[in-house]
């Protein structure tokens, strides 16, 4: 008698698992995709940031060239002594 109850419980659990799997496979999965306008806005922001970074690189290159020139002037003055 105890064995029959155990088999009945196991059958019920398996049936529930199968039905749950079936229901979950039928329910459509919700996909959250960004709209094209949101993507375009993000691209515009990234392009703006890229332009700012390029300007900063150019400024740093100018500073580096000025520093190299100043260093060369100092070296030239020291060699003259």
State the Cα–Cα distance between residues 20 and 54, nearest whole angstrom: 56
According to the model, what pLDDT value does residue 50 have? 97
Nearest-angstrom CA–CA distance, 16 and 7: 14
Cα 7 to Cα 75: distance, rounded to the nearest angstrom: 94
Residue 74 to residue 80: CA distance in whole angstroms: 10
- pLDDT score recorded for residue 81: 67
pLDDT at 64: 95
pLDDT digits (tens, 9 = 90+) for 8-64: 899 999 999 999 988 888 877 666 777 889 899 999 999 999 999 999 999 999 999
Considering the entire predicted model, what is its pTM?
Answer: 0.49
């Amino acid at each position: 008698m105890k064995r029959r109850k155990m088999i009945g419980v196991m059958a019920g659990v398996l049936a529930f698992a199968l039905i749950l799997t079936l229901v979950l496979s039928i329910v459509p999965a919700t996909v959250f995709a960004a709209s094209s306008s949101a993507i375009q806005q993000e691209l515009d922001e990234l392009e703006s940031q890229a332009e700012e970074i390029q300007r900063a690189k150019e400024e740093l290159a100018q500073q580096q060239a000025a520093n190299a020139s100043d260093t060369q002037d100092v070296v030239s003055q020291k060699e003259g002594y």
